[in-house]
Amino acid sequence: MIHISPSVLGADLMRLGEEIELVERLGLAWLHIDNMDGHFVPNISFGPDAVAAIRRKTKLFLDVHLMLSDPRRYIAEYARAGADLITVHAEIEDDVEDLLREIAALGVKTGLSIKPGTPPEAIGRLLPLCDLVLVMTVEPGFGGQSLREDCLQKLPVLRRMIDASGRDIFLEVDGGIKMDNAHRVVEAGANVLVTGTGLFHAADPAAFVAALHGLQEDKRCAR
């Protein structure tokens, strides 16, 4: 099953409540919230208060992506704010294994992300601690960039590693997913698609969602 995780970064923030209602009306279950600290990435966005405000508004599964150099300092706050899943980056200078254990101990699902320059093998030993692996297909920091096709090569590798682990780990892709490339992302093995501008800037968001759900059918037929 393919999950679509609309990224709030691509929404019209002046109308965030309506944008969340749109996601619900489209029948989607996830919402992706990007948090940036101006240090790990050259941009700043949201924070635990924004997550808490969104939590009060919706029951959607809150997929919280932390692009922070020191996420350890904030994970308890994000958990209290109502995050369902917290993703941290493999590239940070911290004991990521211990951090993932801490997130799990807070009763929140765990995610681990790799930037375009990080190989899948770098996180192999951490897979037993992950509920989700997030492959960035752009340099993190900004919405509206083009998907880097070279990053898609990592997906079959990770899919094999996940299958070998025997655990049901989500494989999520984030950055530049559009109507014309989503099939390649799914064919490569992803089952969670983040979409910011692709969905929120679409002339017809329902058609965009239907197209992505159609890919799921294609994949089932191909098996």
| List of residues contacting ligand DX5 (CB under 6 A) | 7, 9-10, 32, 34, 65, 138, 140-145, 174-177, 194-198
115 binds, among ligand DX5, Zn ion, none (CB under 5 to 8 A by kind): none
What does the DSSP 8-state code read for residue 222?
H
82 binds, among ligand DX5, Zn ion, none (CB under 5 to 8 A by kind): none
61 binds, among ligand DX5, Zn ion, none (CB under 5 to 8 A by kind): none
Active site residue 174: yes
Q: Residue 141 CB, nearest distance to ligand DX5 (Å)?
A: 5
* Cβ-proximal residues to 139 (8 Å cutoff; 6+ apart), any chain: 41, 115, 116, 145
Q: Residue 223 CB, nearest distance to ligand DX5 (Å)?
A: 27
Active site residue 98: no
197 binds, among ligand DX5, Zn ion, none (CB under 5 to 8 A by kind): ligand DX5
Q: How, if at all, do strands 30-37 and 44-45 pair?
A: antiparallel
CB atoms within 10 A of CB 21: 13
CA distance 176 to 182: 9
**Continuous H helices in the chain:** 16-25, 48-57, 75-81, 96-105, 154-165, 182-187, 197-200, 205-222
Q: Residue 222 CB, nearest distance to ligand DX5 (Å)?
A: 25
For residue 103, give both structure tokens: 């997130």
Report if residue 65 touches Zn ion, rule: CB under 5 A: yes
Q: Total residues at the site for Zn ion (CB under 5 A)?
A: 3
For residue 136, give both structure tokens: 């960035």
Active-site option among 63, 84, 131, 174: 174
CA distance 147 to 152: 9
The amino acid occupying position 10 is G
71 binds, among Zn ion, ligand DX5, none (CB under 5 to 8 A by kind): none
CA distance 164 to 183: 24
Active-site option among 34, 37, 63, 84: 34
Pattern 25-64, Zn ion, x by CB under 5 A: ---------x------------------------------
Assess contact for 38 and 142: CB atoms under 8 A. Answer: no
Q: Which residue is nearest to Zn ion (CB)?
A: 65
Residues belonging to the active site: 34, 174
Can you give the binding site for Zn ion, defined by CB under 5 A? 34, 65, 174
